[in-house]
Amino acid sequence: MKQTDFLRLSLINNNTFKLWLPQIFQSINDYQSNHNGTSTDLCTMLEDLQTPEEVVEEKIICSVNTNNMSVYTNSMIVATTRMVCCLICTYLIEWLGSKKLAITLPLLTAVFSAGLYFSRTPIEVLALSSLGSSIGSVADLVIMNITVEMFPTTLRTVAIALQLMTGRLGTLAGNITFPYLLNTGCAPPFAFVTILPFCCAILSFLFPNTENKPLL
Give the H/E segment covering residue 66.
none
In this structure, what DSSP letter does residue 205 have? G
Question: Can you give the pLDDT at residue 185?
Answer: 83
CB-CB contact of 167 with 9 (8 Å): yes
Closest by Cα among 17, 122, 134, 23 to 78: 134
Phi-psi label, residue 36: left if phi above 0, alpha if psi -120 to 50, beta otherwise: left
pLDDT at 87 over 60: yes
* pTM assigned to the model: 0.82
Question: Can you give the pLDDT at residue 193?
Answer: 86
Q: What is 2-46+68-206's CATH number?
A: 1.20.1250.20
pLDDT at 210 over 70: no
DSSP state letters, 119-179: --SHHHHHHHHHHHHHHHHHHHHHHHHHHHHHS-HHHHHHHHHHHHHHHHHHHHHHHHHHH
**Choice between 7 and 144, residue whose per-residue pLDDT is larger:** 144
All structural domains of the chain with their residue ranges: 2-46+68-206
